[in-house]
Amino acid sequence: MKRSVSSGDMRKCRRTRSTLAAGFTLLELLAVIVIMGLLAALAVPALKTFGQAEAQAAGSRQLLDDLGRARQWAMSQRTTVYMLFVPPAFWSDNSAPGNERAWNNLPSTERTKAARLFDKQLIGYNFVTVRSVGDQPGAQHPRYLSEWRVLPEGIFIPTWKFTYNGPPVRIADPAPPLPPQRYHVVSPFRWTTPEMGIPFPSVTGSKEFRLPFLAFNHSGQLVSETGPGGWQDAFIPLARGVVSASYGVGGVPQAVIPAVSERPPGNSTNAFHLICVEWLTGRARVIRQEVQ
């Protein structure tokens, strides 16, 4: 049985087809585009901040793990383990006195190895011992315990931590809920001396370089930081931002101090992120202070 179609139903169908054919007006499309643009503009900074925070957390985890590894190596091998860091301009006296002479005296094979560290300034580190269990007293058999490692992209150790014989930096830490103000006194790295017999950039390199370092003894204690009262804790600040190394033809790293940009500016001392290594136990932990 066929159903008859009334004139009212036909008019309704025509209106529906007409509405579908019309679609959105230009004004409606522009409004949608503007709203999407505003949402994107609001979301990008938040995503960028989230990415930086994730990189900083990853850098903290990596450094905590490697500090713990250096401590364990020192205890298991009954020796002192040195954690060396790659300073800016390590090939010249702009880093520390005597480094330019040490660089010029490097054999060509060792200079090639050192050149691979040009793009690891402020972010690279390794572990070295100068003697091990079974060595004769006074004998030295240096060993590198790892490949050169780097911090995650977007994280670096700020340049002021590498100032040779520089003054300490006082970083304010609010003591809730009331004053007095607390401070973290962060000293620049201590630097090796030729007398310590630490070769660079490998076991067959030069022992004349001065390099920033931390050291753990056979008991797992931190023995590289000293103050008026004796041994003291060490602090390693981790900054957010960009370290831009210089590359030549074929992507070869160049002997140029990298351009550094903290993002946001000053976050190594304001919205700080410190790795604290306790001297007595040698254990490391994180201290954070975010901008309120």
Backbone φ and ψ of 155, nearest 5°: -130, 140
Q: Is residue 249 included in any domain, yes or no?
A: yes
User: Given a cut of 50, is residue 221 above it in pLDDT?
Assistant: yes
Q: Is residue 3 included in any domain, yes or no?
A: no
Cβ distance 43 to 51 under 8 Å? Answer: no
Q: Is residue 260 included in any domain, yes or no?
A: yes
Q: Is residue 4 included in any domain, yes or no?
A: no
User: Given a cut of 70, is residue 12 above it in pLDDT?
Assistant: no
User: Given a cut of 60, is residue 20 above it in pLDDT?
Assistant: no
Distance CA(187)–CA(174), nearest Å, equals 20
Query: Which tokens go with 271?
Result: 């919205």
Number of domains in the chain: 1
Identify the burial level of 14 via C-beta atoms within 10 angstroms of its C-beta, where 0-12 means exposed, 13-18 middle and 19 or more buried: exposed
User: Given a cut of 90, is residue 103 above it in pLDDT?
Assistant: yes
Give Cα 96 to chain centroid, integer Å.
22
Q: Is residue 41 included in any domain, yes or no?
A: yes
Domain holding 99, by residue range, is: 9-288
User: Given a cut of 90, is residue 94 above it in pLDDT?
Assistant: yes
Distance CA(278)–CA(213), nearest Å, equals 15
Distance CA(95)–CA(235), nearest Å, equals 20
User: Given a cut of 70, is residue 241 above it in pLDDT?
Assistant: yes
Other residues' Cβ atoms within 10 Å of the Cβ of residue 76: 12
Query: Which tokens go with 101?
Result: 């002479």
pTM comes to 0.80
Residue 235 binned pLDDT confidence (cut-offs 50, 70, 90): very high
Tell me the per-residue pLDDT of 38-55, one tens digit each, with 9 for 90 and over: 776 665 554 444 455 688
Identify the burial level of 207 via C-beta atoms within 10 angstroms of its C-beta, where 0-12 means exposed, 13-18 middle and 19 or more buried: middle
User: Given a cut of 90, is residue 16 above it in pLDDT?
Assistant: no
Tell me the per-residue pLDDT of 150-188, one tens digit each, with 9 for 90 and over: 999 999 999 999 999 999 999 887 655 556 667 889 999
Q: What is the mean pLDDT of the chain?
A: 86
User: Given a cut of 70, is residue 23 above it in pLDDT?
Assistant: no
User: Given a cut of 90, is residue 125 above it in pLDDT?
Assistant: yes
Distance CA(249)–CA(164), nearest Å, equals 32
Q: Is residue 58 included in any domain, yes or no?
A: yes
Q: Is residue 2 included in any domain, yes or no?
A: no
We report the CATH number of the domain holding residue 177 as 3.55.40.10
CA dihedral 146, 88, 223, 77 (to 10 degrees): 10
User: Given a cut of 90, is residue 237 above it in pLDDT?
Assistant: yes
Q: What does the pLDDT average to over 100-116? A: 97
Distance CA(119)–CA(255), nearest Å, equals 9
Q: Is residue 1 included in any domain, yes or no?
A: no
Cβ distance 127 to 81 under 8 Å? Answer: yes
When mean pLDDT is compared over 8-12, 177-181, 273-277, the highest value belongs to 273-277
Q: What does the pLDDT average to over 233-251? A: 95
DSSP 207: S
